[in-house]
A and B are shown apart, each in its own frame.
Chain A
Amino acid sequence: MKSRLPSWWARVRSRLRPPRTLKVTRIGRTYLVVTFGVGLGALNTGNNLLYLLLGLLLSMVVVSGVLSERCLRYLSVRRVGADAAFAQEPFAFRWALSRGHGHAFALTLSETGSPLTGTGGVGYLPAGVEHVVRADLTAPQRGPVLLTGVRVTTTWPLGLFAKTRTFPLESTLLVYPRRTYACQDPGAPEQGPVGDAGNPRRNDGNGDLSGLRELAPGEDARRIHWMKSASAGKLLRVEREREERRTFMLTVADGLDAEALERRCEEVAALAHRLIEEGHEVGLDTPEERLRPAAGTAQERRLLRVLAWLGHARPRGDEEAA
């Protein structure tokens, strides 16, 4: 648990934090080495042309800093978010970027202070236009991810330095369990006098007529087609297209360790996806929450949300970016 720092210390830290961070790129490192070499050569030989070249190289460094700073000014960023984020697979994430005035070039956006990996980029951002930047991000694991800010980086104009500005923007992204293959069977569907699922006729099908076959022992006599049986001299039963909609209740047991819990969540998510795709109703029973069975994509989203929060403390507002 984090210790609560005094507010004055937070203020001091925020004041000491540089407004921009600068990182030398690979080509920039070589550029600096060459500049250093030219400087040594100029000092050694007194060759004025080397001094001129050195002046040009150093000026380009300064101009690079000024132009990149102009690029990062007057920017505003809004987090649009993702439709659905699954762990360990790329998901589309969006930011809306706009600029008060002037142009910006070669901006790269990413989330700062979070385990999300991946960047989105925009080549040219004119003034007064909101540009939606899309990125394929990847989250390492399931659960809520606290997003503290958006990092905007530019290598404009020469690619020698990567200057970064961080926009503080707090939000939470809920990452669903990894989509994997469900190895285990979901188990028997629920039976009982509840709705269609409790009707035994439902198991024999109640759709359109699909054929006739001889009645097997123990089968429901109400399915016999008496006229055809009379003409055939044996008991024939009607076969109808069956409605496959069943009700399943998936469970996540209590007391699982972290790894087992993760594996179970992924399995349940996969099962739920498969069953809902097949048209079944799926419910979820976890130590923290119980979700009533239902069908459809909305139910799948509800299941995923419950699975994503499993094992994590859920805030009161339940705010999330996704």
Chain B
Amino acid sequence: MRKGTRLRLALRDLGSGFAFASMAVSGQLPIWSLVLYGVALVVALAGRRPFSNRVKLTALLLLAVALTLGTNVLAGSLNLVVAACAFAGLISAQRLLSTPDATTDGQVHLSGLLMVAGGAALSGELVYGLFLIVFGVLASIALALGVVESAVPEGEPVPVRAVMGPLATGVGFAVVGAVAFFVLFPRLNWNMIGPSASPGLGVATAGFSNTVRLGGAGTIKGNPRIVLRATLSPDPEKDALDAYWLGRTYDVFDGQEWSSARTTSDGAGFMTTLRPGRENLVHQRVELMPAYGARTLVAMETPSRLGNAVTNTRQGSRRTQIEERGGGEVRFRDAGISYSYEAYSLPPGASGDDVQDLPPEEQDALLALPEGLDVRVAQTAARVLNGERDPLAAARKLSAWLQREYSYTLELSGDVPDPVADFLFQRKQGHCEHFATALTLMLRTQGMRARLATGFFGGERVTGGYVVRAGDAHAWTHVLVPGRGFITVDATPPAHRASQSPRLLEQLINFYEVVESQWRDVVLDYNFRDQLTVLRSLSRSHEVPKKDEPPGRAPPPRAFGAALLAAAAAYAAWRLLTRFLSRERPLEATRFADAVEAQLTSARITRGEGETLEALDARLARERHPLAPALAPVTRRYLEARFGGRPLLQGEATRLLADLRRAVLTQTQRGAREGTRPPQARAS
């Protein structure tokens, strides 16, 4: 196998691999198809083609796979598009392992094309765009090498290096053309099938449940995946928001786990008002990512209204209803991969709730203690409070004491009979749920109403909005202060409230988030309105500048357009000029010969009657004339230009004549130094 062929096959296989990866990033393909394709790719990259002599057998296997996929589709366990994509991947795998010939190559490339088209239908990930470009580049190079290789006679090497230059230019122009098409092609779609969402890779980790159990195993504090994106209005413009994002509250503790006293739903609607709004509400446009994995709406403390929810599923996006449940939890009615909605929250401070506003069962639950609670809990609370009866002051006093006396750890205790006592009197270390539970129960032992709240703490600023990570999941305490409502008191040490994931990893994910945000804005959400904006910005602006507004320093977009046109015109003029200067001039060789003859005459070398330049050159070489070495290349180029169909290039005549002139000058000076007459060629 030729060197170029090996390279071409490797590029072909890698291109197919990236095409498959563009589907795989959606996280929807069956695991077994990922494994099969991965094995096939590795074997193909190792240069082995085990299916070469087993075409019929492997075709039967493919048929069996198709039947399996079809059965799954009919049974409803697999989406039709996903099944088609998986089958395209397996066809590609089968082709990768077959004998590499022109037909197989074409089938591998075309299955790759189908796979990237399938990837576009399955996912909108940023890496999809990356894989699409890499597939385009690799497949183009492999195709071009194949085209050249088919024209190169057997035994000759494939000119790989020569192919790369023009092809790179072509691919570059293709990418620019694709962008231009993307920007300008009108977005007038039929909308028979809406855009779909994909769960992406990885497992959803930040879910809410109906109960919170202390102890157990596992942690999400080190998980940097982004679960929530929010745009706030008014924008606080802070890098670290350090806000509490409330998911739901719990008011009943049975000694092991928290639950809600009320489990009934208030009915569904497109908008839910949790508590009456006041002035200065904070508006949030929230997007819950596939990594979130729950149906509970989250809003900044303290949520007032939630609604306008949209659920994104594999079949498309649609508006969905929401329903209020126990514990102030608001849930999406329909399950989806990701969600978006709007929320309004009260400005930081108290919630304004009155105990009488709560349902009766919740009022009672706020003071309920689990049976068999260790008596030391109440004794300790009383000792720490030392007679303090104001709920907020007491909560803050207990919170400060807990933060001072107890340490934070992510190492869980496991299942123990009394996790609160274990935390307070045995281990004396725990995580946010231990701190929040301890504070809540200690307050209740002293007759103060309190409940456990769960959600997220944090919010990092990324591209004008805020993101919350899975590791920001948090629990804290709501203390009911008469006349003010529930007030947040957090017993967890401040340094351990937010995500505990490595800083470098967080920065990398932030960078990815920035790029992905651009990708979303510029590519995924690009629509007809954006097109109109682009076109309007290219045309003359009709806006009348305000009197007080200082003139903008940046040039208007039309200036960029004009500059672009001027650059294109200059390029076209340059090309025309270059072509004009490099045109073939029939008499150029003759003029060149005349100039050579003039220089030879100045060196006192005369040509005999009918003696051609070629004959003169041969004669000088025979006579070992000093000018013969300088004249030889000039003569050769003259003959090539005059008779050989190789015209003189631009500037070549000047260079050759300059070399000859230099040689003549050197020869003349040498003759003058020696005081003799320069050698004179005989006229023959």
Hey, which bits of chain A sit against chain B, CB under 8 A?
26-27, 30-31, 34, 37-38, 41-60, 62-64, 66-67, 70, 76, 98, 100-101, 103, 105-108, 121-124, 126, 128, 130, 155-159
Contacts and interface: CB of A to CB of B under 8 A. Distances in A.
A263 B149 CA distance: 42
A52 B116 CA distance: 11
Interface string B147-180: 1111111001011001101110011011111111
Given A42-B189, A123-B159, A158 B106 contact: no
B144 interface: yes
A27 B166 contact: no
Interface in B172-214: 173-182, 185, 187-195
B28 to A, nearest CB: 15
Nearest to A102: B166
Contacts of B245: none
Contacts of B193: 44-45
Interface stretch (B5-13, B121-129, B598-606): B121-129
Given A123-B152, A123-B156, A53 B116 contact: yes
Interface stretch (B107-115, B263-271, B282-290, B559-567): B107-115
Contacts of A53: 116-117, 120, 132
A106 B147 contact: yes
B105 to A, nearest CB: 8
A155 B182 CA distance: 27
16 contacts: A30-B106, A38-B117, A45-B193, A46-B187, A49-B120, A50-B120, A50-B121, A51-B181, A52-B178, A55-B180, A55-B185, A58-B181, A59-B174, A59-B175, A59-B178, A105-B151
B147 A156 contact: yes
A49 B523 CA distance: 7
A48 B519 CA distance: 11
B178 A55 contact: yes
Given A106-B151, A158-B140, A98 B645 contact: yes
Contact of A50 (B114, B117, B162): B117
Interface of B, helix, strand, loop or mixed by DSSP: helix
B501 to A, nearest CB: 30
B582 interface: yes
B113 A123 contact: no
Given A49-B524, A100-B584, A59 B151 contact: no
B2 to A, nearest CB: 11
Most buried by A among B114, B121, B151, B180: B151
Contacts of B124: 49
Given A49-B124, A130-B645, A158-B144, 4 more contacts: A49-B121, A49-B523, A156-B144, A157-B166
B167 to A, nearest CB: 6
Given A49-B523, A63-B177, A124-B162, A157 B117 contact: no
B511 to A, nearest CB: 22
B143 interface: yes
A257 B173 CA distance: 63
Contacts of B645: 76, 98, 130
A10 to B, nearest CB: 27
Interface of A, helix, strand, loop or mixed by DSSP: helix
Contacts of A47: 120-121, 195
B181 A59 contact: yes
Contact of B146 (A55, A62, A130, A159): A159
Contacts, number: 177
A46 B195 contact: yes
A203 B523 CA distance: 97
A43 B191 CA distance: 8
The 8 closest A-B CB pairs, nearest first, are A59-B177, A123-B152, A55-B181, A46-B189, A55-B178, A49-B120, A124-B159, A121-B151
A103 B109 CA distance: 26
A245 to B, nearest CB: 43
A159 B143 contact: yes
A209 to B, nearest CB: 53
A105 B195 CA distance: 42
A49 B117 CA distance: 9
Nearest to A122: B151
Contact of B121 (A30, A41, A62): A41
Contact of A62 (B163, B175, B177, B179): B177
B113 A128 contact: no
B655 interface: no
Given A52-B129, A59-B174, A123-B149, A31 B113 contact: yes
A67 B170 contact: yes
A27 B181 contact: no
Contact of B524 (A48, A57, A122): A48
Contacts of A37: 117
A103 B167 CA distance: 11
B194 A66 contact: no
A60 B109 CA distance: 14
A54 B191 CA distance: 17
Most buried by B among A31, A63, A101: A63
B646 interface: yes
Contact of A31 (B110, B116, B173): B110
B136 interface: yes
B574 interface: no
Contact of B148 (A56, A76, A106): A106
A41 B194 CA distance: 11
Contacts of A121: 150-153
A105 B163 contact: yes
A149 to B, nearest CB: 19
Given A52-B523, A100-B584, A44 B181 contact: no
Contacts of A58: 177-178, 181
A58 B180 CA distance: 11
B136 A34 contact: no
Nearest to B110: A30
A89 B65 CA distance: 49
Interface in B63-89: none
B515 to A, nearest CB: 16
B571 interface: no
Contacts of B109: 27
A121 B152 CA distance: 7
Interface in B612-655: 645-647
A155 B194 CA distance: 39
A45 B524 contact: no
B425 interface: no
Given A52-B132, A59-B177, A62-B177, A67 B117 contact: no
A63 B171 contact: yes
Interface string B538-569: 00000000000000000000000000000000
Contacts of B129: 49, 52
B128 A49 contact: yes
A59 B173 contact: yes
Nearest to B116: A53
Interface string B200-236: 0000000000000000000000000000000000000
Nearest to A25: B106
B512 interface: no
A63 B167 CA distance: 10
Contacts of B114: 34
